[in-house]
Amino acid sequence: MADTQLMEPIDDGGSDGRYVIVEKGFLRGGGATIVDIHEGSARFLVDIERGQKTGWFCDQRENRLVAARLAAGAEVLEVFAHTGAFGIHAALAGAKSVEGLDVSEEALVLARNHAVLNKVDTRCVYRPADAFDEMRTLERAGRRYDLVLLDPPAFARSKQAVPRALAGYKDVNLLGIRLTKPEGFLVTSSCSHHVTEQELWTGIRLAARDAKRQVRLLEQRGQASDHPIFATMPETRYLKCFILQVL
């Protein structure tokens, strides 16, 4: 991609709720729109033309590597899997199995390709599904996992959406906690800058209470270090990632 730049449409609403669309394409030159990248010991294919945002969530890079440390020998559930990045790292770290869910079949095609590319396809299964519906189905069926990975899209794109978003985060974490085996691990994230760390943590505590489970906070993380946080721009501190043990 030397001497090329890609201009993506801005897919996040502004403070007034409006969206700004700009032309997509190379500013100069040209090249492949499927790019082969390395992250840690993993290889991935990034669709910079049709993928969400830039096609790759670079802000979760360090969190994926940390979460993989919990994966050795684990049965893993990856929810909102997108193209499978968290799960592929888990499989490379020795996970027994990875089950990935995402509503986008197009994204899951790349996830399956990533599993083949990294030679972990015999341990990774992906299927299209609504996350909330499928998690409820798995919970009713008695399925439980050693490691549950939750990386949902932004539930709140405006301040007005925060109350509904908080209910959504509580529900998804309640299901995640219920699906985690005793002494297993839950890695849960939020990329909604309108939702504060304290609000997200309160939702997790309420979810644990409703599930009648105890959770222990092992680590609280944010976006990768190459995504700067400025004191004068609170919206730059947007990504929250909690690594929990569910007792």
- Assign residue 229 the CATH number of its domain: 3.40.50.150
Categorize the per-residue pLDDT at 22 as very low, low, confident or very high, splitting at 50, 70 and 90: low
- State the average pLDDT over residues 27-32: 74
Query: 2 in a domain, yes or no?
Result: no
Categorize the per-residue pLDDT at 39 as very low, low, confident or very high, splitting at 50, 70 and 90: very high
Query: 135 in a domain, yes or no?
Result: yes
Look at the chain and report how many structural domains it folds into: 1
pLDDT digit string (tens) for 193-232? Answer: 788 899 999 999 999 999 999 999 999 997 877 888 888 8
pLDDT digit string (tens) for 165-192? Answer: 888 999 999 999 999 999 999 999 988 8
- Structure-model confidence comparison of residues 139 and 231, the more confident one: 139
Res 55: pLDDT: 64
pLDDT digit string (tens) for 42-87? Answer: 999 988 777 666 667 888 999 999 999 999 999 999 999 999 999 9
* Chain mean pLDDT for the chain: 87
Query: 45 in a domain, yes or no?
Result: no
Categorize the per-residue pLDDT at 18 as very low, low, confident or very high, splitting at 50, 70 and 90: low
Query: 38 in a domain, yes or no?
Result: no
- State the average pLDDT over residues 109-137: 97
Query: 136 in a domain, yes or no?
Result: yes
Query: 221 in a domain, yes or no?
Result: yes
Query: 7 in a domain, yes or no?
Result: no
Query: 42 in a domain, yes or no?
Result: no
How many angstroms separate the Cα of 123 from the Cα of each of 40, 58, 66, 206, 215?
19, 25, 20, 34, 28
Res 12: pLDDT: 47
124 tagged catalytic: no
Tokens of 7: 């201009």
Contact 174, 215 (CB under 8 A): no
Domain that holds residue 237: 54-246
Of 58, 124, 191, 241, the active-site residue reads 191
Contact 163, 205 (CB under 8 A): no
